[in-house]
Amino acid sequence: MRRQRKAKVVATLGPASSTKEMILSLFEAGVDMFRFNFSHGTQDDHRARHEAVREVERLVGRPIAILADLQGPKLRIGKFAEGKVNLKTGDEFIFDRNTADGDEKRVNLPHPELFGVMSAGHSISMDDGKIRMKVIDSNPDQIRASIITGGPLSDRKGVNVPDVVLPIPILTEKDRRDLEFALSLGVDWVALSFVQRPEDLVEARNLIAGRAGLMTKLEKPAALDHLDEIVMASDSVMVARGDLGVELPPEKVPGAQKRILRACRHYGKPSIVATQMLESMIYAPTPTRAEASDVASAVYDGADAVMLSAESASGAYPVQAVSIMDRIIGEVENDPIYPMMINAQHEESLPSKSDAICSALRSVSQMIGAVVNVTYTDSGNTSLRAARERPMAPILSITPHLSTARRLALVWGVHSTVIDHDVKDVDEMVDAACRTAFTEGFARPGDQLAIAAGMPFGQPGTTNLLRIAEIEK
């Protein structure tokens, strides 16, 4: 099955979409990668979903990517004596270390690290930004704040503190258990929440140890201060607009999204735009026009993928949500303005052999009118560097490793395939490229294709070969 588009679709699995039949329907509607949200569900739930996805993969004969999205640390207030309170704008409110139930004047904050970093002028928001406060003063035992936006607040609601870098590890004990479990299943990508600095990725990188790609969720304003370093240290990036939209003023989120996508494009790291893309389709069979425009804007900006969350996990219309997302992408990519915008965003090649070859691949392919760019890859690097160039002809990625093919299913423009043997020489590689391009429906006899690969074969990161081939008549 060949997708007639370049940007990819990611869908979250949940109560509305966990059967093999539904997963097959979602794949047929356009899903390229399934997301398992470890903030919800049990490990048994995720194991069953993993087995179902892999069964669908065998059925359709196409590599399907799986993303394990770790929960990360969650800051929450304690409990109230009556379960909830109503906070009034203009009043003062205290967060303290007293474990007694709270009231309209105070509540326990069971995160001692916060008391050492909050100071006058810092912002605090709760319940996804519905309640907002400004810190008046703080000491090791309490934080005193003025209520800027009041309203009802109940037990254990989440806390966001956008103005400070929190000195806490981003992998909790739950995350470590979930990470090892996800890796034992064989997931292709692992998403890390709450990243603030590039050093936050070190522990997860060491624990993953090459068994999956490391995806950074950019959802903290502090991360934007280290954007280039974080993108370079990641294998891919998610623009997680949920928490980012809570911690940043709404008017700043679109600009932040474009900055992140531009950095990902520059360094050749796959990017996902996520959260509230088709939010109304949780309850309605069609999206709003604004939502359709939001999806389209991400595609025009060159995102590798767009993602559905509750729309496919718990919504009433998961297949319809995937289908409309697929159609929006197709409509954008058929717009004559689209290649102009993608070319206008083209980044200069980075100073490496891989980028030099893949830049030449793009130019040669366009010059000779190649119907497809073929990348023969062991680690996936050649396909990633080719995708960075955003060629207009599709990228047919060939690898002898199923794990590599699955991981590349996320990447813009890449049609990922597996061959059942390693090639031994250039002639065998060219033959495999021509045969696969024909059988996968990319080329007919007489068509030309441009091929990039690395020699010696089987050695990752050695992209150094460019060939032109023709399908024999």
CATH number for 96: 2.40.33.10
Residue 294 maps to a domain:
yes
Catalytic residue among 47, 54, 74, 76: 76
| Number of domains the chain is built from | 3
Residue 214 parent element (H or E): strand 213-218
Question: Is residue 147 located within the same domain as residue 229?
Answer: no
Pair 15, 4: CB distance under 8 Å: no
In the residue annotation, 35 being an active-site residue is answered as: yes
Placement of tokens 């970093």 in the chain: 117
Residue 346: inside a domain:
no
Please give the helix or strand (H or E) that residue 8 lies within, else none: strand 8-13
Structure tokens at 422: 């390693």
The answer to whether position 180 is within a domain reads yes
Statement to judge: residues 273 and 410 lie in one domain:
no
Per-residue pLDDT of the chain (473 residues; tens, 9 = 90+): 799 999 999 999 999 999 999 999 999 999 999 999 999 999 999 999 999 999 999 999 999 999 999 999 989 999 999 999 999 999 999 999 999 999 999 999 999 989 989 999 999 999 989 999 999 999 999 999 999 999 999 999 999 999 998 888 899 999 999 999 999 999 999 999 999 999 999 999 999 999 999 999 999 999 999 999 999 999 999 999 988 888 898 899 999 999 999 999 999 999 999 999 999 999 999 999 999 999 999 999 999 999 999 999 999 999 999 999 999 999 999 999 999 999 998 888 888 899 999 999 999 999 999 999 999 999 999 999 999 999 999 999 999 999 999 999 999 999 999 998 888 899 999 999 999 999 999 999 999 999 999 888 877 777 889 999 999 87
Given this model, what pLDDT does residue 459 score? 76
User: What pLDDT score does 242 carry?
Assistant: 85
Torsion of CA 280, 285, 291, 293, to 10 degrees: -170
Backbone angles phi, psi at 76, to 5 degrees: -140, 150
Q: For position 1, what pLDDT does the model report?
A: 76
Residue 217 is among the residues annotated as catalytic for this protein? yes
Residue 368 within any structural domain of the chain: yes
How far is Cα 366 from Cα 80, in angstroms, rounded to an integer? Answer: 65
Helix 318-333 × helix 20-29 angle, to 10°:
20
pLDDT of residue 463: 86
User: Please, are residues 410 and 189 in contact by the beta-carbon 8 Å criterion?
Assistant: yes
CB neighbour list of residue 252: distance below 8 Å, 6 or more residues apart: none
Angle at 465 between CA 461 and CA 467, to 5 degrees: 145
Q: Is 186 in the same domain as 127?
A: no
Does a structural domain hold residue 3?
no
Catalytic residue among 35, 62, 132, 362: 35
105 and 13, same structural domain?
A: no
Q: In the numeric block, which tokens belong to residue 449?
A: 């294709």
* pLDDT for residue 422: 83
Domain boundary pick from 283, 307, 335: 335
CATH of the domain at 414: 3.40.1380.20
288 is known as an active-site residue: no
Distance CA 365, CA 371 (A): 8
Q: Looking at residue 102, what DSSP letter applies?
A: B
Alpha helix (H) residue ranges in 272-380: 289-300, 310-313, 318-333, 337-344, 353-368
Indicate the residue among 160, 178, 198 that finishes a domain: 160
Rounded Cα gap, residues 391 and 383, in angstroms: 12
- Considering the domain architecture, whether residues 138 and 189 belong to the same structural domain is answered as no
Q: How far is CA 178 from CA 59, 69, 135, 244, in A?
A: 28, 9, 35, 24
Q: Which of 49, 144, 157, 217 is catalytic?
A: 217
In a domain, 364, yes or no: yes
- Position 347 in a domain: no
Select from 304, 335, 366 the last residue of a domain: 335
- What domain range includes position 111? 84-160
Measured N-to-C along each axis, helices 318-333 and 289-300 cross at an angle, to the nearest 10 degrees, of 50
Q: What is the pLDDT of residue 362?
A: 95
Q: What is the pLDDT of residue 454?
A: 87
Q: 362 and 409, same structural domain?
A: yes
SS3 category, 96: strand
**Does 343 reside within a domain?**
no
To the query of whether residue 275 is one of the catalytic residues in this protein, the response is: yes
CATH of the domain at 236: 3.20.20.60
